[in-house]
Each structure stands twice: as structure tokens, then as C-alpha cells.
């Protein structure tokens, strides 16, 4: 467990140290009036306290990614935790901060508009399509996983409460429910999951259409409490198990003597899934995720002061990194061996690992509350995914979104398409989501790098992570079956070659503009005061 706490300490050090470096490079203006005031429409633009925005931002960006991804990443060993720490501090949190601040500086603009402004119109057209596709995939993916977990909770709770089975052990109750020995109101587990899917979709529709403070702003504090319970509860369970002589769980047990010298060697059981580039796509949320680029502008429209951005955007990403470390530690310790972890994932996806470990560590009641803390993450990301998709489409077609009728024009077709896409096999959806997610992150990091480079600021803080994730995405597209399915070694060469080309184009096509941004971004406080 010392490795886990060391990684958490590094994340906190990154927030209190490196985030100040990023803020200093960007140069905030505390006197500038933000879009929350200048463009207040009572729906998407409105001032909110930084604490509430931080919580909403954390819940928005933290879907199943920082849970399912790290569990899958644990198959690669402790190096997964190293990527979470390094990726979060130097890539993910930087990505989120610049996306949020550039949106604040550009009237709450969405990520496609930012990419178009700093990288050119062709990139804007590409990212508009990619962003909507990504958001649609996120919305659909984040319906399936919480519905599965809620279905499992329903079967277990009603089985224990109904007295239909006389079992006191929480894990045995769960096993009976999984074997089909329990029905709820005459419904089997598959039917219960379908009902929960419908309920979640209805919530998404309401959250997409109503003003941001009517549902999201009011129920998220409750969701945040569940999230806190889940995180603290699972850490307690891990530490207690590690210190207990009665419970044989050991932190490194699942890696079978894995040493730090073997970090970058493939396991025999993962020979078809090489660490490079798949680890960096498997663990995205919690380290670096392009989905966050679609969410940060939502909170940029509610930020009261630029000086709060470091806490809101960089800080929320650090919080997500801690969640990712918790579940990576679960993946590394809960099962006896690597093959056992792999078998559990194949038997019931990472959701089985989540549920089984929560019940084991915290009992039936505590485990269910912990699982509810997991459930709120995809739900609170899925609702804002559809909301962000509506706003991206509205910006593209220049449709105002203050009136309900105009919101319905976009929302109804969006949910119809989402329902149709939900019928596609989940594993196929996940593969495309993974690539689209990190490709969006790649474009956003290049956008931030272009902004810094053009205005003579220290651009390498964004250019280096942009080049890194570009190599990952290009290699993945060349190697994976959803792309070109090429030979692995050739794919690696292609990945590095295309990244080198991107760097050449970056320095060739972009022209520094000196300090003209300081003139463009003049303090508008007096203008705003005069208008009042």
C-alpha cells in the first residue's frame, strides 16, 4: 500500500506545485469579467461558487473511465499507477486547465471553436464531427454500465430484504442473485437492467433540456457525498485488508512477483495487447481524456473569476486521478493472480470487479453505498455528454438555446440517434470510444500548444504531451482492428513518423503573434459596469 499512498502524494504535490507553473504561464486576469456574467442567459451561462463548480466538474469528467480503465490497466501491473500519476499531472490536468481557461477567454466557446480559432478551419470541421460522435458514444456507453450495476444492486437488496433466501453472508446473497435464484416483482435480472436503462435515459433527457442549476446544480452535492463515501470506503477496505492477518489480500498479489525492472515487458497473457500504446488508451480518464475537453467549457460558462480556474479545472482532474488510483489498487490486490483478474473481467466486465470487491470489503450495506458512488460517475457524465453535444451542435448551426423549443430541435434527434446506437455491441462501441476520446485529447493539447506558441508563451508544457498522445493515437489506429490492422512494429514506426510530421507542420504553419493577445483580451470590467 505504500506505493499507492506515494502515488496519491505525488498527485497532491502536482496540484500544489506544477499547477502554479501552468497558471503562471497562462497569466490569469482576476479583474476580467467572465462569461458567467457577461453572457448570463439563465440556462447554460450563470455564475456559481467555485466549490460547487469543482464538484460538478469532477462528476462531469469522472465517468466509468477512472474506474473501469484502471481495473483493466491493472492487467499491465503497477506501471498503470505510474501512468495515472505522470499522465494526470503533466497531461490530463494541463489539458483540462487550458481547455477551461481558453473557453473562459473566448466567451464560453466549445472545444471545436477553440480548435478552429488556434489551429484553423479544417481542424474545426473535423473536431466538430469527432466531438459529437464522442459525446454520443459517451452518452450511450454511460447508460449501459450504471444500468448493469443498478440491476445487480436491485437483485441483491430485494433478495436479502424479501426473506426469499435465508443467507446472512453478503457475498453468498450476491452469488444466489447472479445464479438467477431471485426475481423482483416477477422480473429477472435482464428485465430489471432494461428498466433501469429506461429510467437513466429519462433522467438524461431532463438534464439535457433543463437549466444547469435546476437538476445538475441541485442533486450533484448528494452525488458528491456518495462519491466521497465510495472513495474513502474503498481505501479503508484496502488498508484494513492489507493490515489484517485474517485477510490474505496483499497489494502486489495479482502481479505474481512483478518487479519494477519488468514494468515495460509484456505479460504472456497479454501478448496480443502490448503495453505501448494500449495502456495509454485503456487508462484515459484519470490520466488524460479528451472527453474532458467537451465538459470543461460547460463549467467555464459558470466560473466567476479566472483565479478560480486552477482549483476548478486542474484540481478536479487531480481528484479524478485519486479515484483512478483507488480502483487500480483494487485491480492489483483483490484477486489471487493476474489470470483470476482477467477471468473476472471476461465473466462480467470491470463492473463485476467493482461490485464483488465493494461487497467483500464493506459488506452488503456499505458495499451497496460504495457501488452507488460508482454509479453516479457515469450518470453524471452521461447527462452532461448529451448536454454538451446539444451545445456543440447549437454553436455549429448558430441556434440560440435559451428557449425550450430550440433545445428540443436538437435534443430529440440526438436522443433518437443515441437509442439506435445503443443497440450496437458494447465491446465495439468501447473500442471506438477509446480512440475517439484520446484523439480529441490530442487535438485539444495541440490547440493549447498553438495558443501558447503564437503568443510567445512557454508552449512545451502542452506540445510535449500533445506529441506523446499523438504517437499513441497514430500507433493505435495503425495497429488495432478498428483501424488498419497493420503489423505491430510497422505501426510503431508509423506512429512516431506521423507525430514527427505534426511537429514539423506545427512549427512551419503557425506564426508567432507576439503579445497581441494581451491587447485583444483587455480588461472588460469597466465596459461591463458601464453597460449596467
Please, what are the domains in the chain?
A: 1-509 (1.20.1740.10)
pLDDT band of residue 400 (cuts 50, 70, 90) is: confident
Highest mean pLDDT: which range of 59-68, 158-167, 421-430, 432-441: 432-441
Cβ atoms of 497 and 486 closer than 8 Å: no
C-alpha distances out from residue 334 to 162, 260, 330, 344, Å = 30, 20, 5, 11
pLDDT band of residue 515 (cuts 50, 70, 90) is: low
Asked if residue 374 has pLDDT above 60, the reply is yes
For residue 187, list its beta bridge partners. Answer: 184
Cβ atoms of 39 and 45 closer than 8 Å: yes
Q: What's the rounded Cα separation, in Å, for the pair 382 and 140?
A: 8
String of DSSP letters for 85-120: HHHIIIIIHHHHHHHHHHHHHTTT--HHHHHHHHH-
Q: What's the rounded Cα separation, in Å, for the pair 59 and 55?
A: 6
Mean pLDDT, the chain, whole residue set: 81
Cβ atoms of 383 and 363 closer than 8 Å: no
Burial 343-379 (b: 16+ CB within 10 A, else e): ebbeebbbbbbbbbbbbbbbbbebbbbbbbbbbbbbb
> What DSSP state is assigned to residue 52?
H
Q: What's the rounded Cα separation, in Å, for the pair 346 and 75?
A: 12
**Residue 307 half-sphere exposure toward CB, CA atoms < 13 A:** 4
Asked if residue 164 has pLDDT above 60, the reply is no
Q: Average the pLDDT over 504-510 and give the result.
A: 93
Main-chain phi, psi angles of 244, to 5 degrees:
-80, 135
Asked if residue 426 has pLDDT above 70, the reply is no
Cβ atoms of 293 and 57 closer than 8 Å: no
Cell, residue 175: 452469488
Q: What's the rounded Cα separation, in Å, for the pair 87 and 465?
A: 9
Higher pLDDT, 174 or 215: 215
How high is the pLDDT of residue 263? 39
Q: Average the pLDDT over 441-465 and give the result.
A: 95
pLDDT band of residue 194 (cuts 50, 70, 90) is: confident
For residue 184, list its beta bridge partners. Answer: 187
Q: What is the CA radius of gyration of the chain?
A: 23
309-326: pLDDT as tens digits: 999 999 999 999 999 999
> What DSSP state is assigned to residue 265?
S
Asked if residue 140 has pLDDT above 70, the reply is yes
Q: What's the rounded Cα separation, in Å, for the pair 521 and 122?
A: 25
Q: What's the rounded Cα separation, in Å, for the pair 234 and 328?
A: 11
How high is the pLDDT of residue 252? 45
C-alpha distances out from residue 164 to 117, 157, 171, 174, 188, Å = 63, 11, 16, 13, 14
Q: Average the pLDDT over 231-240 and give the result.
A: 86
Q: What's the rounded Cα separation, in Å, for the pair 227 and 383?
A: 17
- For helices 111-119 and 291-300, angle between their N-to-C axes, nearest 10 degrees: 100
86-99: pLDDT as tens digits: 999 999 999 999 99
User: What percent of the chain stands above pLDDT 90?
Assistant: 34
Asked if residue 466 has pLDDT above 80, the reply is yes
Q: What's the rounded Cα separation, in Å, for the pair 1 and 326?
A: 11
Amino acid at each position: 500500500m505504500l506505493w499507492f499512498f506515494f502515488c496519491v502524494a505525488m498527485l497532491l504535490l502536482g496540484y500544489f506545485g506544477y499547477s502554479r507553473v501552468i497558471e503562471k504561464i497562462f497569466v490569469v486576469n482576476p479583474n476580467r469579467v467572465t462569461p458567467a456574467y457577461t453572457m448570463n442567459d439563465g440556462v447554460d451561462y450563470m455564475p456559481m461558487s467555485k466549490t460547487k463548480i469543482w464538484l460538478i466538474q469532477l462528476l462531469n469528467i469522472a465517468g466509468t473511465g477512472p474506474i473501469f480503465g484502471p481495473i483493466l490497466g491493472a492487467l499491465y501491473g503497477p506501471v498503470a499507477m505510474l501512468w495515472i500519476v505522470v499522465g494526470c499531472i503533466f497531461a490530463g490536468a494541463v489539458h483540462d486547465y487550458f481547455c477551461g481557461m481558453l473557453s473562459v477567454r473566448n466567451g464560453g466557446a466549445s472545444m471545436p471553436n477553440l480548435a478552429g480559432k488556434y489551429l484553423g478551419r479544417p481542424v474545426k470541421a473535423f473536431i466538430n464531427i469527432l466531438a459529437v460522435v464522442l459525446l454520443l458514444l459517451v452518452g450511450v456507453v454511460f447508460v449501459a454500465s450504471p444500468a448493469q450495476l443498478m440491476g445487480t444492486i436491485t437483485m441483491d437488496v430485494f433478495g436479502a430484504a424479501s426473506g426469499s433466501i435465508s443467507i446472512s453472508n453478503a457475498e453468498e446473497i450476491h452469488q444466489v442473485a447472479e445464479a438467477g435464484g431471485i426475481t423482483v416483482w416477477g422480473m429477472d435480472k435482464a428485465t430489471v437492467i432494461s428498466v433501469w436503462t429506461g429510467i437513466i435515459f429519462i433522467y438524461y433527457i431532463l438534464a439535457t433540456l433543463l437549466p444547469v442549476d435546476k437538476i445538475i446544480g441541485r442533486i450533484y452535492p448528494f452525488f458528491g457525498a456518495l462519491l466521497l463515501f465510495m472513495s474513502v470506503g474503498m481505501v479503508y477496505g484496502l488498508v484494513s485488508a492489507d493490515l489484517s492477518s485474517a485477510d490474505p489480500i496483499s497489494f502486489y498479489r495479482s502481479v505474481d512477483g512483478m518487479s519494477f525492472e519488468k514494468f515495460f515487458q509484456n505479460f504472456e497473457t497479454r501478448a496480443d495487447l502490448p503495453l505501448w500504446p494500449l495502456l495509454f488508451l485503456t487508462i484515459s480518464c484519470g490520466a488524460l481524456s479528451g472527453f474532458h475537453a467537451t465538459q470543461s467549457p460547460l463549467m467555464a460558462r459558470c466560473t466567476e473569476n479566472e483565479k478560480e480556474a486552477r482549483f476548478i479545472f486542474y484540481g478536479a482532474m487531480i481528484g479524478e486521478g485519486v479515484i483512478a488510483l483507488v480502483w487500480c489498487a483494487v485491480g492489483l490486490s483483490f484477486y489471487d493472480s493476474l489470470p483470476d483478474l482477467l477471468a473476472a473481467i471476461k465473466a462480467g466486465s470491470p463492473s463485476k470487479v467493482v461490485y464483488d470487491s465493494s461487497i467483500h470489503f464493506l459488506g452488503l450495506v456499505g458495499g451497496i453505498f460504495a457501488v452507488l458512488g460508482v454509479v453516479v460517475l457515469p450518470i453524471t457524465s452521461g447527462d452532461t455528454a448529451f448536454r454538451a453535444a446539444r451545445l456543440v451542435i447549437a454553436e455549429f448551426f448558430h441556434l440560440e438555446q435559451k428557449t425550450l423549443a430550440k433545445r428540443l430541435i436538437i435534443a430529440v434527434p440526438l436522443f433518437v440517434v443515441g437509442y439506435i446506437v445503443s443497440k450496437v455491441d458494447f465491446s465495439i462501441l468501447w473500442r471506438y470510444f477509446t480512440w475517439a476520446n484520446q484523439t480529441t485529447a490530442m487535438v485539444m493539447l495541440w490547440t493549447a500548444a498553438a495558443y501558447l506558441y503564437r503568443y510567445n508563451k512557454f508552449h512545451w508544457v502542452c506540445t510535449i504531451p500533445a506529441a506523446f498522445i499523438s504517437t499513441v493515437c497514430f500507433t493505435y489506429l495503425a495497429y488495432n482492428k478498428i483501424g488498419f490492422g497493420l503489423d505491430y512494429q510497422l505501426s510503431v514506426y508509423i506512429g512516431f513518423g506521423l507525430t514527427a510530421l505534426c511537429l514539423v507542420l506545427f512549427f512551419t504553419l503557425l506564426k508567432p503573434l507576439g503579445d497581441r493577445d494581451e491587447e485583444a483580451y483587455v480588461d472588460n470590467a469597466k465596459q461591463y459596469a458601464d453597460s449596467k
